[in-house]
Structure 1
């Protein structure tokens, strides 16, 4: 009876740790999703241009600036987490993200304060980028350190699941306000309401994280350090001794980051702007695709634990390389939402494989003492270059070529790099794959 009670308590503690570790990601992607979904409205409110495509490009440029500082946040907050604990870092990042998201919903427009409006928007995006850079690495590290080699991918799968939850929540909020509000009200104040609600997630997240202990692996590492009395310099050690893991994680994330932002965050804009479909229909498609992603995350986690990290990565890459162009060739000819959902759902299967496999690999290739710094820097460097700028690059490429299918050229080029990294660089880490 006592053994059964202890086992139940352990499972409850594990579930609570995974949930609290994932909550910040949900807030992070709730905000990122909202910005991508309302990019068309934001471009009109904060940037003045006779050409709507130019305004949209400027809007995505500001979106991308938040990603440019993410590696800095990953290093600074990662260093803090490697020294003082994952939970302390996670509490700091979720509070910062919540306040910035709330403030974004209160910003004045260009017509009200002129050039100050886009400047304030950019400042908030930069602050969010710093916090997000620390949040993602700390969250992934915290959850991974509660796992074992046999269940780690399943546990880590709840981290990208929480990302999908944030995007789904943002997409659902976008669908709600675009459905119930007249267009004039939506453009005037309606789009601000979901941003302002972000503070509620932050307050709840801070409360949750204050009541969860740090990961067992981190606590054991700190105990060994205190006995050895050795100086700990995670950033210095990271760049001197762990160049290959950094290059490997970045290489893996080139494709996954680009496809993620293009298939999920960018799709409402792509469908509504370049496929002559209403914004509300685009939200229906996007919300449904994210729901598919959520359902697949834990399933793929169990599959990756069973089959192996590297094998699943290769399968995910091959799926994109073979099917991206055919899927988009049919997609751009559609107006039926159900058909669009089915087509994008095909690619989402491979996206989920990549997201979960890369997340667990990122945690496993770095040692505990600098895992947070290594994951934070590598993940955010790739996200900054290949993820955050992907919507901007896609919009610019389509505008320059006039070809809706040019988005697939970005996908194929990025996935090819991930494919080659999986075959060659990753082999040394998983020569005897679990």
Structure 2
């Protein structure tokens, strides 16, 4: 095998191993969102189904609240000991938690202990997930150059889509072949228990991949200079020297995270509960929309590499502001899956530009020695505020107004924050040529 071929194989293996944890993470997060109606019935004692659903999404949000802590703790470990060591730890922790969720007894079996145990697992998983995202995004980006970094990083949101589509497909199969009684009794548990298989494979893959060239270079320079940095939580270094970078990531992700969770994770619940389709049709729509997302992610990476980070984010944001209200206005009037897929596909095209643009910006505006910590903290803090609370906020807003279309105001408001940040704040980091200053 020639040198070029070896380099390409090594790069592909690195990107794949770096993306596996995200696939597992979003496999689980997707499952929780997809089966929220069942989980609310099995783990929360509420006479009103909407109240049970709200409690279920509150537990979903809890996992996000500790993600910034996981991002900065595990990120600091990754910045000191390497991305691969941190990533091996996080994927194993996520896999074990996912499996245990599928084994938990219900409220009817053990009472109040059931939702408490579910919440504890969500908290542990949130810590692991917070460390996984920043470290894996950093790991992949450090294999790239300014000319191909967005394309390489695009495989991370691609892997997110793969995890969600596996979860959505699992939901589609299970809800299609099992009667309702069996689905509630044990069927929903099968995909959660199978999550450990992804984790085991991920640990194997990551233990056979070298750390990123950029990290190895910095480590070698430190060793040559006789520098042995202590493992510390870099709050001071981040907030004093890179506060603008933290704010840029948080504000950019406002639109990306809110729109993503509402368009994809929340859609099966929204379509089945508020539009009036069957759960199997809702999963069919969601799986198809995810397939569109997967196809478009690498193309979005190529586009962002070509036209620049800011321009890609601005185009995606404007597209959302133009199409969101018309899409949902038509969506709530139709139960035809093909029409729903076509409508949501328009917004997903905008979503991929924002997701990829935001991911690559996050890695480029932090220095190597603080990259995992900075990306992990800022990305996860914004995801906790804007993403984790989005399904809860959407359900509460629809319940309060009685209007299914009210969800669009959450999406458009968050997207507006991303647009303003892209137009103004990112000027601090990117020149007119679209490259980092």
Same fold flag (TM > 0.5): yes
What residue number does 2:404 align with? 404
2: distance between equivalents of 1:380 and 1:335?
35
What residue number does 2:390 align with? 390
Listed as ranges, the matches of 1:51-66 within 5 Å are 51-66=48-63
* 1:158 positional shift: 0.3
What residue number does 2:281 align with? 281
What residue number does 1:39 align with? 36
1: distance between equivalents of 2:210 and 2:335?
50
What residue number does 1:139 align with? 136
Listed as ranges, the matches of 1:106-125 within 5 Å are 106-125=103-122
**1:368-423 deviation per Cα after TM superposition (whole angstroms, max 9, x unaligned):** 01000000001000000000100000000000000001100100110111111001
Give 5+ residue unaligned stretches, structure 2: none
What residue number does 1:21 align with? 18
What residue number does 2:329 align with? 329
* 1:229 positional shift: 3.6
What residue number does 1:266 align with? 266
* 1:108 positional shift: 0.3
Contact 1:21 1:142 in 2 (8 A): yes
* 1:117 positional shift: 0.1
What residue number does 1:80 align with? 77
What residue number does 2:312 align with? 312
**1:154-210 deviation per Cα after TM superposition (whole angstroms, max 9, x unaligned):** 000000000000000000000010011111100110000000000000000000000
1:253 matched to 2:253? The reply is yes
1: distance between equivalents of 2:430 and 2:133?
24
2: distance between equivalents of 1:378 and 1:159?
17
What residue number does 1:237 align with? 237
1:195 matched to 2:192? The reply is yes
What residue number does 1:416 align with? 416
1:297 matched to 2:297? The reply is yes
TM-score by length of 2: 0.98
What residue number does 2:425 align with? 425
2: distance between equivalents of 1:218 and 1:334?
51
What residue number does 2:376 align with? 376
1: distance between equivalents of 2:20 and 2:235?
26
Other structure's SS at 2:260 match? helix
* 1:228 positional shift: 3.0
**1:94-120 deviation per Cα after TM superposition (whole angstroms, max 9, x unaligned):** 000000000000000000000000000
Contact 1:44 1:55 in 2 (8 A): yes
Kindly report the root-mean-square deviation, in angstroms, between the aligned alpha carbons of the 2 structures. Answer: 0.9
What residue number does 2:356 align with? 356
1:167 matched to 2:164? The reply is yes
Contact 1:235 1:370 in 2 (8 A): no
What residue number does 1:128 align with? 125
* 1:235 positional shift: 3.8
2: distance between equivalents of 1:134 and 1:32?
15
**1:37-73 deviation per Cα after TM superposition (whole angstroms, max 9, x unaligned):** 0000000000011100000000000000000000000
TM-score by length of 1: 0.98
**1:74-93 deviation per Cα after TM superposition (whole angstroms, max 9, x unaligned):** 00000000000000000000
* 1:236 positional shift: 3.0
* 1:344 positional shift: 0.2
Other structure's SS at 1:277 match? coil
2: distance between equivalents of 1:130 and 1:229?
33
Give 5+ residue unaligned stretches, structure 1: none
Other structure's SS at 2:154 match? helix
Contact 1:89 1:135 in 2 (8 A): yes
**1:337-359 deviation per Cα after TM superposition (whole angstroms, max 9, x unaligned):** 00000000000000000000100
Contact 1:79 1:235 in 2 (8 A): no
2: distance between equivalents of 1:426 and 1:227?
35
* 1:239 positional shift: 1.8
* 1:227 positional shift: 2.6
Other structure's SS at 1:105 match? helix
**1:313-369 deviation per Cα after TM superposition (whole angstroms, max 9, x unaligned):** 000000111111111000000110000000000000000000001000000000101
What residue number does 1:185 align with? 182
2: distance between equivalents of 1:214 and 1:53?
47
